[in-house]
Amino acid sequence: MSSVVVAGSFNVDHVWRCDALPAPGATIAGRYSTGPGGKGFNQAVAAGRAGAQTSFVCALGADAGGALARQLAAADGIALVAEASDEPTGTAGIYVDGRGRNSIVIGAGANASLSMGFVAANAALVSAAKVLLAQLESPVETIEAALALAREAGVLTMLNAAPANAPSTIGLLKLADVLTPNETEFAALLGRHVGERIEADDVATLDGASLHALCRKLSGNTVVVTLGAVGVFVSHDEDKLRGDSQPYYRVAAESVQVVDTTGAGDAFNGALAASLAQAPEASFIKHVRFANQYAARSTENEGAALSMPKMTPADA
């Protein structure tokens, strides 16, 4: 039995590190590396390394990328459940500047093949989990089906509504017991579903009451907005505080030597899912503090999936 099931994407990352992110029309020098990524796989690795027994539901091509996914999942003790696709395994081109900031271009490939039928065929796996975690690099109707299946079985559902330009519906958001956008994704969701226009850079500057009010408009469940170097904002339904003493609060960012922020949001999500699965009776703020520490630690290393530290809630 898996305590965390992650439904989502696997990519082979192609990474260029350079002093500054390339401007349109520019040709610059950089240092190249490649490795595993994809929001789903990153989060699955984080959940596993944070101590949760983890399964990863995905779609892979019959190519070297698919073989890499299987090899790495086995090495990390992740139970890989993959739908076969005629498309190549997903890829991502990532540029990282000297300050650790990144720009990313994704080729969905096999990730776009993950089907509702495959999720339904693995209903027993999903229903037996403690937490289902999903993102939006896979078809939205498949992710909605996975969340609905988990919700019906009484499994805690988490949705990382990323990337910001991914399609979504208000029905999809309602299926998430815990919704975890970053500031860019939060602003996009507000504009799309609530009609509230706010710049992503302004989200972190809002006072707590105003940000809480926007979260309540977006979802009737818990919303966790990750704010990068500023930290995390948590907003609960006032009738469901998940063990917390207040409906909204901030958790400050950890102080670390940042090398690469790629995958930091995925680190947070995987660690939060793992902590919730391992100690469901603990207050929500304890889970958030652990996930915050875990994500900060992940930025001290280069890469996405491979940057995830081995750190459990007991170590925090």
Active-site positions read 266
Cβ-Cβ contacts under 8 Å for 114 (sequence gap 6 or more): 7, 57, 58, 59, 83, 138, 139, 142
Q: Report which of 75, 133, 131, 135 is spatially closest to residue 310, judged by C-alpha positions.
A: 75
Q: Report which of 9, 5, 266 is spatially closest to residue 113, judged by C-alpha positions.
A: 9
| Other C-beta atoms lying within 10 Å of the C-beta of residue 76 | 20
The 3-state secondary structure of 135-203 reads CCCCCHHHHHHHHHHHHHCCCEEEECCCCCCCCCCHHHHHCCCEECCEHHHHHHHHHHHHCCCCCHHHH
Backbone angles phi and psi of 63, in degrees to 5 = -145, -175
